[in-house]
Structure 1
Amino acid sequence: MFKKYFALFSAFPLLAFASEPLPLAVQQVEKQGVKIIKEIKTEGGLRGWVGQYQDMGVTVWLTPDGKHAVSGYLYDEKGQNLSEAVFNQEIYIPQGRKLWEQLSAAKSIKEGNPAAKRKIVVFADPFCPYCKQFWAAAQPWVASGKVELNTLLVAVLNPKSGPYASSILNAADPAKAWSEYELSNGKKRPKSTEGTTKETFNILQYNQKLMDETGANATPAIYYMNEKNELQQVIGMPDEKQLEAMFGPK
């Protein structure tokens, strides 16, 4: 599901037209639940529209007689899927940028330089071993001041995930509490006399909702913006190449 936000962008010549009534055949497609976004024109001369059905991009093409509409991908003679490029430019990349704004605005555990150009958001469960590995792998970049790491705690893996996450969020210094917890391999966590407060419960609920909206179904779920200002996602423990892509060279 989440691939819609950050699929690779490739060049595709587009021309936006002034708003005018849709051809009747295209209106029939719209009645099927497709939200028509804008009219586009390709080098091949086809008249077409880009739209969205639920979470997926749709391209609609009008036949020369103007009486029939065809919905589907457009390919060139080299086999390149031109429709996907349109979806990326008009739907997925803009949606990814909006999602990044939500991720950045969420109440996270912040580590590193707040002025760093590279910012990473990760959904993590206190009982996730790969989250611990990722946290440890990120520390050299965090310590260098090149990266700000923003952790959004969720409770998905263990019945104790919620209480553990709550005690960390309730700590006087959540970033320190999270660091000590990870360094101790989950053995050291702050004692909480408050339990799960309404505030921490709401934070965990919101984080879970936000994670669901990204389409992620496992932790760590990691997000960052690449050099093209496109949202990227990595699920699970990244390899060395992925780490360098998100954090930059050491």
Structure 2
Amino acid sequence: MGTVLMTGAWSAAATASTPADSAGYAALMHTLSHGQERLLKTVPTSVPGLSGLVVESLTGQKSLVFGLDNSYLIVGPIIGANGKVLNETLAQSAGLLPKPLSVKVLALRALHAPGFVLGHAGPMLVAFMDPNCIFCHRFYESERANLQAGKLRIKVVPVGFLKPSSLPKAVSILEAKHPAAAWAADESGFNVKTEEGAAKPAANLKVPATAQIRANTRLLARSGEVATPTILACLKGAAAPVLWRGISPEAQKNIPGKLTDLLPTGSCAG
């Protein structure tokens, strides 16, 4: 799996690719996939030389990869300096992703998704988090005292997309005898300079947890954006949960005092 980090905002252009681009990438795809994949169309981006490629397997499954300068194929996440994943943006524009779920339905599915709970008492919220996510780390650190004091609970839905080590780290955490403790260890040893969690990547990905982490990441995509932390919570007095992309220092003040329980039904305790 390759990862390309580039700066600037991502956007899909409305114009079609040139026939030469399509022909070149079609031949490249056929050669490198040994005839197992064929190019359906190209999707231009605002990054010079970079194109999204909608491909189809022999079984009819469609997916998105990227081509660079008509000479390279990139399989894996492409992340801008703003932290947004270009794959999801282009997949939506190419019609490969369904419309985002409502917040209530997303909350319901997230509550029942593979994961674990941090804290032992207090209002429950849900957070999609990547073990290498610096903003998740800051959120965790800001709420660690509340978790330990029984003032807040966080259902962590672990995902893995930010770095090549994210998936194997998330797998090792979910496979641990005590996943909550494994997550706490990942956070306690977090390297803020390299933005790397301390979890040891799983050496074997042929385990059920791998499919579970990938399913969690797909569920995160159904929120409309692959970004962490994505938080689902219930404000006091509200009937339905709200969705936060990250959380500002101001909003982090007295989080337990602002919240009520997110119920297993995806609704709020009121």
> TM-score interval w.r.t. the shorter chain?
0.5 to 0.7
Look up the match of 1:167.
172
Q: 1:176 to 1:154 in 2, by over 3 A?
A: same
Using the alignment, how far apart are the partners of 1:246 and 1:197 within structure 2? Answer: 39
Q: How many Å apart are 1:152 and its aligned residue?
A: 1.2
Where structure 2 has 5 or more consecutive residues not aligned to the other structure, the ranges are 1-100, 191-195, 259-270
Q: How many Å apart are 1:184 and its aligned residue?
A: 0.7
What percent of counterpart residues are identical? 24
Q: Which has the larger radius of gyration?
A: 1
Partner letter of residue 234 of structure 1? Answer: W
Using the alignment, how far apart are the partners of 1:130 and 1:98 within structure 2? Answer: 25
Q: 2:141 aligns with which of 128, 136, 140?
A: 136
Deviations 1:3-58 (A, max 9, x none): xxxxxxxxxxxxxxxxxxxxxxxxxxxxxxxxxxxxxxxxxxxxxxxxxxxxxxxx
Using the alignment, how far apart are the partners of 1:172 and 1:211 within structure 2? Answer: 25
Q: How many Å apart are 1:203 and its aligned residue?
A: 1.0
Matched, 1:209 2:214: no
Partner letter of residue 181 of structure 1? Answer: D
Matches within 5 A, 1:92-241: 95-113=102-120, 115-116=121-122, 118-185=123-190, 186=196, 188-190=198-200, 192=202, 195-227=204-236, 228-236=238-246, 238-241=247-250
Using the alignment, how far apart are the partners of 1:107 and 1:202 within structure 2? Answer: 10
Residues 122 and 220, structure 1, Cα contact 8 Å, conserved in 2:
yes
Deviations 1:132-183 (A, max 9, x none): 1111111122112121111111111111111111111111111111101110
Using the alignment, how far apart are the partners of 1:241 and 1:232 within structure 2? Answer: 17
Partner letter of residue 140 of structure 2? Answer: W
| Structure that is richer in helix per residue | 1
Look up the match of 1:248.
257
Residues 103 and 223, structure 2, Cα contact 8 Å, conserved in 1:
no
Q: 1:168 to 1:102 in 2, by over 3 A?
A: same
Q: 1:175 to 1:188 in 2, by over 3 A?
A: same
Q: 1:212 to 1:245 in 2, by over 3 A?
A: farther
Using the alignment, how far apart are the partners of 2:199 and 2:226 within structure 1? Answer: 26
Q: Give the secondary-structure state (helix, strand or coil) at the position aligned to 1:122.
A: strand
Using the alignment, how far apart are the partners of 1:166 and 1:148 within structure 2? Answer: 22
Where structure 1 has 5 or more consecutive residues not aligned to the other structure, the ranges are 1-93
Using the alignment, how far apart are the partners of 2:221 and 2:104 within structure 1? Answer: 17
Q: How many Å apart are 1:187 and its aligned residue?
A: 6.0
Residues 108 and 152, structure 1, Cα contact 8 Å, conserved in 2:
yes
Using the alignment, how far apart are the partners of 1:134 and 1:187 within structure 2? Answer: 14
Corresponding pairs, count: 153
Residues 171 and 190, structure 1, Cα contact 8 Å, conserved in 2:
no
Look up the match of 1:29.
none
Partner letter of residue 196 of structure 1? Answer: L
Q: Give the secondary-structure state (helix, strand or coil) at the position aligned to 1:159.
A: coil
